[in-house]
Amino acid sequence: MKPTPWENFLGIAARAGKIISGEELVVKSIQKQNAKIVLLSKDASDNTKKKVTDKCAFYKIDLAWVEDRNVLGRAIGKEQRVVVAVNDQGFSKRLKELLDH
């Protein structure tokens, strides 16, 4: 399956070292307000969904939903991932544009 433009762009952000993946690291990034946008898999556990959505809402961090953990992992060249944060303003702005289309 051919990657979507946002998946390709997230891969570029990953190679540039501008992302964090994994629930604990992402939550810390949100709390420090380093995260500019958080991508959360629709097949994450209910506990993870609640924790991440609550933190994003409290700290006013943008949150975007992606189809599943396989798509998110593949986009960053890793195994399955349920949550990824982009910590760069420029990358997050472009990623939001790509996700909105």
Question: Could you read off the pLDDT of 17-48 as tens digits, one per residue?
Answer: 999 999 999 999 999 999 999 999 999 999 99
Sign, CA torsion 54/69/23/99: negative
Distance in Å from the first CA to the final CA of the chain: 19
Flag whether pLDDT at 1 surpasses 90. no
Task: Check residue 29 and give its pLDDT.
Answer: 98
How many domains are contained in the chain? 1
Give yes or no for a contact between 65 and 53, defined as CB atoms under 8 angstroms apart.
no
- Map tokens 């798509």 to a residue: 71
Q: Is the pTM of this model over 0.85?
A: yes
Q: pLDDT band for 49, please (50, 70, 90 cuts).
A: very high
Task: Check residue 2 and give its pLDDT.
Answer: 85
Average pLDDT over residues 49-73: 97
**56 is in which domain, residue-wise?**
5-100
User: HSE (CB half, 13 Å, CA atoms) of 22?
Assistant: 5
